[in-house]
Structure 1
């Protein structure tokens, strides 16, 4: 049986999840009404910087950090705010949002375009050396 291309999996996920435009994410992040979660690898953060105020939850640990029954659970995810995930280009985040929906997380979305979209829209980025 051939492997389903990841592009197909991402396209299917995007049909079933909410994708928020960057301008809405920026507005809501500034207002504190969302929990903005960066699921990129630590090497990506070191190389390209971070969105100020976003929490980091590496993709490989995300489900474990979200699950209250997991020994790895992180209280950051005990929130009544909308959780908005992002990765580099909104592919991993689409798959992650779908997985968390399947776990029962109801108020969740991804950011359109990911970190690249944020940067292209002029969003603030904190560099690894702490500068902006």
Structure 2
């Protein structure tokens, strides 16, 4: 059966947890927050949230173990095990790529993965601060 990208995103959203940008703003008060921006590097460079790490959607699974919160570990498996129980927040432009990424990370064994509903555009629309 052929599926559109929108159908894939809807299926992913049915299996993950989304939070609002307002909830993310509260969570960011904890300086140990793992926030991953899955947009492409050129999108990220145009504006991003402080303390976010840019791992593009296409490379997320291959680079997640290099996140600064686990970089001290020498191998990917140990690093992933360290992240497995930590809350991980994912953001993209609109919330579609982050939903797909959240589902993938859940399939990799991470237990507390959250996609930001509406993505970076909702963050901007809500008037929250961005870095450039």
Q: TM-score, normalised by structure 2?
A: 0.83
RMSD of aligned Cα (Å)? 1.6
1:113 equivalent in structure 2: 118
1:54 equivalent in structure 2: 52
C-alpha spacing 1:116/1:75, structure 2 compared with 1 (3 Å)? closer
Give the whole-Å Cα distance in 2 for the aligned partners of 1:13 and 1:58. 18
Q: Deviations over 1:99-123 (max 9, x none)?
A: 1101111111111110001111111
State yes or no: 1:123 paired with 2:106.
no
State yes or no: 1:19 paired with 2:18.
yes
Give the whole-Å Cα distance in 1 for the aligned partners of 2:117 and 2:67. 26
CA contact (8 A) 1:36 1:54 kept: yes
The gaps in structure 1 that reach 5 residues or longer are 67-72, 128-132
Give the whole-Å Cα distance in 1 for the aligned partners of 2:130 and 2:11. 30
Paired residues, number = 119
1:69 equivalent in structure 2: none
- Give the secondary-structure state (helix, strand or coil) at the position aligned to 2:58: coil
The gaps in structure 2 that reach 5 residues or longer are 71-81
- Give the secondary-structure state (helix, strand or coil) at the position aligned to 2:98: helix
Give the whole-Å Cα distance in 1 for the aligned partners of 2:20 and 2:32. 15
2:102 equivalent in structure 1: 97
Which of 63, 66, 90 does residue 65 from structure 1 map onto? Answer: 63
CA contact (8 A) 1:90 1:113 kept: yes
Give the whole-Å Cα distance in 2 for the aligned partners of 1:56 and 1:102. 21
